[in-house]
Amino acid sequence: MALTIEDNEIHIWHADLLPEKWNTQELTEVLSEDERTRAQNFKFQCHREYFILRRYLLRAILSKYCHCNPSDLEFRYTGYQKPFISTPEYNSIKFNASFSDNLLLIGITMQREIGVDIERQHIIPDIERVAFDHFSTNEFNLFKEASCNEEIFFKIWTRKEAFIKAVGKGMYYPLKSFAINPASPEFEKPALENDPERSEHWRIGGLTTKEGFYASLAVNADQFNIRYLQFNF
C-alpha cells in the first residue's frame, strides 16, 4: 500500500515487535550488507532477532512512502550516527525511530527534522539522582513536587530524548542545557539555554501510545497535524 504525506503532516507508526511471528532468516535478505553484519555482532540470538525485525519494519514502513521495495532503500549516517535516506529521490522524507520492550515507534515527516522516543514505565534505581543529573532546575523541581514523580520523570525524559534525537546529536547534546514543560497538553517550544532564538522553530510534546508506555515527539515545525498508524502483521 503506497502512502503520501503532506508537508504539514507527521505520521506516527506503532508496531509490535513479535519475532516469533516472522522468519527472521527471510527478513535478513531484505537488509543491507551493513545491517546483516550489525545483526551478526549481537551476542544473543534474541537481540539479533529484535534488531533484524526493527530494521525490516523500518524499511517496510518507509518503502510505503518511497513507493519502492524495502530492500531498495539506502541509508547513511550523520557524524552522530543519526540515519537518513541517502537515495536522492527519497531523501526529503525525514524519519526517526525508537523502541522499548516489544513496541517500536517511528515518526515520519517531509523536510523537517524529527525525533521520537518511547519508554516502557519501569522502576529506575536512584531515580532522583538520575533526574538531578539530567534535568534543568525547573524540571527537577516539577519532578520533586509531583505526587507521582515516576510519571513526570518519563514525560520529561522522553521529551528531552526526542529533542536531542531530532537535532541529531544524541547524548552529545547536554540534557541540562534546555527545558521542557511536561504538564502542557499542547506541543510547546523548548527553552534552549544558549540559543533562545532557535527555540522558536521547535515544538516538543507527548504522543498517544499504549498503556504502560510514554512517548514524545520533537519536530522542527510550528504547525502540524499528527496521524497515527499501526503496522499490522
Mean pLDDT in residue range 21-30: 89
Give the mean pLDDT of the chain.
92
Residue 19 predicted with pLDDT over 80: no
Boundary residue ending a domain (68, 101, 134): 101
pLDDT, tens digit (0-9, with 9 covering 90-100), for 4-18: 999 999 999 999 998
Number of domain units in the chain: 2
> Where is the domain boundary, 70, 101, 132?
101
Residues with Cβ within 8 Å of 85's Cβ and at least 6 positions away in sequence, in order, are 62, 66, 73, 74, 75, 91, 93, 95
Q: How far, in Å, CA of 38 to CA of 185, rounded?
A: 39
Same-domain status, 220 and 128: yes
Instruction: Check whether residue 66 and residue 25 sit in a common domain.
Output: yes
Q: What is the pLDDT of residue 193?
A: 80
Instruction: State the CATH number of the domain containing residue 67.
Output: 3.90.470.20
Secondary structure, 3-state, 61-115: HHHHHHCCCHHHCCEEECCCCCEEECCHHHCCEEEEEEEECCEEEEEEEECCCEE
Instruction: Could you list the beta-strand ranges (E) of the chain.
Output: 9-16, 75-77, 83-85, 93-100, 103-110, 114-120, 178-179, 191-192, 203-207, 213-219, 225-230
Please check whether residues 124 and 224 belong to one and the same domain. Answer: yes
- CA distances from residue 170 to 117, 155, 167 in whole angstroms, order as listed: 11, 18, 8
pLDDT band for position 232 (cuts 50, 70, 90): confident
Q: How far is CA 80 from CA 84, 87, 169, in A?
A: 12, 20, 5
- Quickly state the pLDDT bin for 66 (edges 50, 70, 90): very high
**Residues written for the chain:** 233
Task: Quickly state the pLDDT bin for 168 (edges 50, 70, 90).
Answer: confident
Do 60 and 135 belong together in one domain?
no
Grid cell listed for 101: 520492550
Do 79 and 174 fall into the same domain?
no
| Residue 179 domain boundaries | 117-230
* Residue 63, pLDDT score: 96
Do 134 and 216 lie in one domain? The reply is yes
State the burial class of residue 109 (Cβ atoms within 10 Å of its Cβ: 0-12, 13-18, 19+).
buried
Q: Return the pLDDT at 25.
A: 86
Q: Which residue has the cell 534535568?
A: 135
Q: Say whether both 121 and 202 belong to one domain.
A: yes
Q: Do residues 222 and 121 share a domain?
A: yes
165 pLDDT tier (thresholds 50, 70, 90): very high
Residues 145 and 81 occupy one common structural domain: no
pLDDT score at 173: 82
Residue 30 in this model has a pLDDT that exceeds 80: yes
From residue 211, how far is each of 49, 111, 119, 230 by CA, in Å? 25, 31, 11, 15
Over residues 124-132, mean pLDDT = 95
Residue whose grid cell is 531530532: 166
CA–chain centroid gap for 130, Å, is: 21
